[in-house]
Chains A and B, each alone.
Chain A
């Protein structure tokens, strides 16, 4: 994965730049020592690393504004960082960039249950947003698997999803307002405790823009009252086609489960060895969860089980109590850990139309044989968001490249059947060069034109999302202007 060459003029000015940053931040919030900047050399896409010029940890919107203004004046690229859990390399620095981490900004600014909102500083972790409202039986719905660690800032940058978005939507559907600092230090307020935009939907545009349009420092989020209860059911099938048809029939029947999770045989076997959840040995396994009062859950599960029985399941397991519900979720929740236990793995994130599920799984099986690398599938079936896990050995020379090549083939397959490259992880650097497979030149130009408006010199997270060749002209203008 190629990154732009660092700008020698910026590297040469490191001393002055750090000095200017120290003038607006306390000394312990500016990290410029080479050994210490290593802590910011990568995010969760650990295959790629590069220590930044410096890292700063501001504690307020005003400090973020001051930092950005300095970097704007000095022509220094800025890479915003939440908790550094991006699987797509969204927070990967270049040697001439300043990492702007919002981790120290984690205050709850306001909670209003009657209006169902919480306003937080964006360094706050996803799970701790729910933590702040749990005692009143409220929750924040988007639940990415990294929710213990990931920051709201990163969730907004990547428009993160989670297992429950079939019912509750993703970040953009639960974000009501932001305070954002533009690259030149200008602070803008967009949205708030009210609904919808008064003019153009800039909030919708900012959410998912991967930190390229501005640094979001505060966010107003929708909180919801918790349902009275939830209960999962587990179903095993002897083919992916049948499991896929069952998912489609459940949806067509008018039941809207809160989650429909799918695991294929390689994944079932690996997790079974790792977690001993007692899953049946079958081709495909579904976990379907519904919410409501006990009577409402019975009503919905009655309909779901009737549909499942028409598809000759090899196993149908209802949870009679919380303990059994926990066991049903145990394997699914340990799937990634189980894979990590066997091997290194790369987690893909393409989305496909739900009806293409059987074909895509069959094709992934063929590609897996062709490349000689095992692939296990675990994903959110209700919304078609696949997570193929490609197993490889990072210590064997050439395997990472082979794995990336297989990953690219699988993502192109997702696009071919009418889907997309990434459902919830974001493009970052990981899928940057595949954007031309999904979008034509004019489509990418329209997106880059938006960045031109928000960040004319292309200093915010510049080498992400768009293929380097596509964005080069815009980034070159900046270097030439110095």
Chain B
């Protein structure tokens, strides 16, 4: 099915006998669904409202992300949560859509300072598993009118409803950016440096560490963005803070952007053939978690983002990497279909939480019509 309107979509779902695999750009494959037919959202496309002075953009869910980024760039604005492009890592092709970004709650390195995709979501329209059209939130920045289903829909991977329209808060694109590059730190030392940086008053908008950097030398990256005077001032202050370390500075905007794209899209794990996991943990616990993983499994590459709060791990295919008693969660991002069927892709929940999740799913999609199995 490829509906051209929300009404068509609602009718299609209400009258369907078999479940749908919902697809925007098809670039972010995750769990394995049992749905026999595909539902393409590409027919629901176009920016419906953009008010730069109100920092608000509303678009139909199937709108290509490039179209949204171009419209924002023309006004000197951007999606501040810096959504990752999964194509390189997953080897997918196609054009990512804004609906896909929201359904997967995709954020990037700036999440550590600006917040996640869900933090920029102002409103949604969606069609639930019974074919009912539902709206929640709106297009204003402060809205506590009723329950926040906007957050619930963000990151629900299409299992509660098919998004038809999303409303987002956007932010100004800063005048310039710069990056501090620190060579040769151990993982523990790098995490401490990142913590010191994000707890400084200098509004670090990216803090990442690669134990094997581009030249197999450990590399720690700290990003600052803002007006030229401010960036230059903050660079100076951070250099003072880390004067005892081997610090290089990158101020060429193109180079800074390339470095952070390398982090954002996990370029070091692209095309390696290993399985890729994503762990969300307490930042200071990250080096310990990684050490334990290395002791138990065959790990080929690691990347720390979000000051340590996000760990990317590249490991031998088929590894059940998920640590027991993990304080946080681990998600299987890249693996063979066989592995994705044999291991839980998402972090298993404690029984009481799982009961709530299942209850919500049963209410929004009682017949299991939308991406069944994908979040199992």
Contact = CB atoms under 8 A, between A and B. Distances in A.
Interface size class of B (residues with CB under 8 A): 35 or more
| Most chain A beta carbons < 10 A, residue from B55, B172, B306, B310 | B55
B352 to A, nearest CB: 5
Given A115-B283, A188-B350, A453-B359, A254 B143 contact: no
Contact of A201 (B133, B143, B152): B152
Contacts of A383: 140-142
Contact of B139 (A296, A353, A453): A353
Interface string B227-240: 10110010000000
Contacts of B146: 427, 435, 438-439, 443-444, 447, 465
Interface stretch (A23-31, A122-130, A168-176, A401-409): A168-176
Contact of A159 (B134, B139, B148, B353): B148
Interface in A427-449: 427, 431, 435, 438-440, 442-447, 449
Contact of A420 (B105, B145, B361): B145
12 contacts: A113-B199, A115-B284, A194-B281, A198-B331, A205-B152, A225-B199, A228-B201, A254-B173, A354-B54, A383-B140, A439-B145, A450-B360
Contact of B145 (A113, A195, A431, A445): A431
Interface in B109-134: 111, 115-116, 118-119, 128, 132-134
10 closest A-B pairs by CB: A204-B151, A198-B329, A248-B53, A198-B347, A254-B172, A453-B359, A423-B142, A194-B328, A193-B282, A383-B141
B116 A205 contact: no
B144 A424 contact: yes
A200 B355 CA distance: 12
A132 interface: no
B280 A208 contact: no
B292 interface: no
B108 interface: no
Contact of B53 (A114, A208, A355): A355
A254 B229 contact: no
A199 interface: yes
A196 B280 contact: yes
B220 interface: no
B194 to A, nearest CB: 10
Contacts of A256: 171-172
A207 B352 CA distance: 18
A426 B105 CA distance: 26
B372 to A, nearest CB: 15
B179 to A, nearest CB: 19
Nearest to B111: A195
B349 A198 contact: yes
Contacts of B211: none
Nearest to A176: B282
Contacts of B350: 188-189
Interface string B331-359: 10000000000000011011011001101
B317 interface: no
B76 interface: yes
B138 interface: yes
B375 interface: yes
B145 A427 contact: yes
Nearest to B306: A195
B45 interface: no
B356 A226 contact: no
Contacts of B201: 137, 225-228
A446 B144 contact: no
Contacts of A431: 145
Given A418-B139, A419-B138, A186 B352 contact: yes
Given A195-B280, A195-B309, A450 B145 contact: no
A182 to B, nearest CB: 8
Nearest to A382: B141
Interface string B274-287: 00000011111000
A170 B142 contact: yes
Given A114-B283, A169-B119, A182-B352, 11 more contacts: A114-B284, A194-B280, A194-B281, A196-B329, A247-B53, A256-B171, A256-B172, A295-B233, A351-B142, A426-B144, A453-B356
B284 A112 contact: yes
A452 interface: yes
Q: Is the interface on chain A under 10, 10 to 19, 20 to 34, or 35 or more residues?
A: 35 or more
Q: Which interface residue of B132, B139, B142, B172 has the most chain A CB atoms within 10 A?
A: B142
A161 interface: yes
Q: With a 10 A CB-CB cut-off, give which of B227, B284, B356 has the most chain A CB atoms.
A: B356
A293 interface: yes
B145 A196 contact: no
Contacts of B55: 251, 354
Contacts of A200: 152, 155-156, 160, 357, 360-361, 375
A449 B172 contact: no
A441 B334 CA distance: 41
B51 interface: yes
Given A353-B54, A443-B135, A443-B136, A196 B356 contact: no
Nearest to A245: B53
Given A159-B148, A202-B356, A449-B363, A296 B138 contact: no
A116 B145 contact: no
B209 to A, nearest CB: 15
Interface in A239-277: 247-249, 251-256
Contact of A453 (B154, B173, B360): B360
Nearest to A197: B155
A203 B329 CA distance: 14
Contacts of A158: 144
B171 A202 contact: no
A280 interface: no
Contact of A192 (B128, B134, B144, B282): B282
A385 B144 CA distance: 11
Given A197-B155, A450-B363, A190 B353 contact: yes
Contacts of B152: 200-202, 204-205, 450
Contacts of B359: 452-454
Given A205-B148, A351-B142, A192 B327 contact: yes
B282 A447 contact: no
A165 interface: yes
